[in-house]
Amino acid sequence: MKKFLALIALFVLVACGSTLDENVTVNIQPGVGEGGTTFFLEVASGDGVVDSWRVSTDEVMLGAALSVLGKISGDETAFGLMVTEVAGITADFAADGAWWAFYVGGEMSPVGVDQTYIEAGQTYAFVLRQ
């Protein structure tokens, strides 16, 4: 079953324009959430390992779905949610210049996670940048 899930994840990463490098290890995590819409979440924290989840939800906005599931948190600003923590990993720009880049289908998103409508089957990624 794990091999089957790994093959599906690899297909999704290639087909959806993953933000991942060739030289990373992908950890397929257990699916999270419940609901009628399914999408994929990748988290690359800069250590050569990417965690990947299949997420199910009935939420319409990505930020709400990921917040409810405890996958992201941050600070509300005039521009929307400034994500500071993803999957338990904190980025502290003030301390070391680290921040979370947000990608949709392999492209950096022009809008924030809380302004992003969920598309079934889409891959969303957070990549730690320093």
Per-residue confidence (pLDDT) for residue 112, from 0 to 100: 96
**In this structure, are residues 50 and 74 in contact, taking their beta carbons and an 8 Å threshold?**
no
pTM over 0.75: yes
What are the tens digits of pLDDT across the range 61-109?
999 999 999 999 999 999 999 999 999 999 999 999 999 999 999 999 9
User: What is the spatial distance between Cα 9 and Cα 4, in angstroms, rounded to a whole number?
Assistant: 9
**Domain extents in the chain:** 2-129
Q: Which CATH code fits 2-129?
A: 2.170.130.30
What are the tens digits of pLDDT across the range 17-57?
455 556 889 999 999 999 999 999 999 998 899 999 999 99
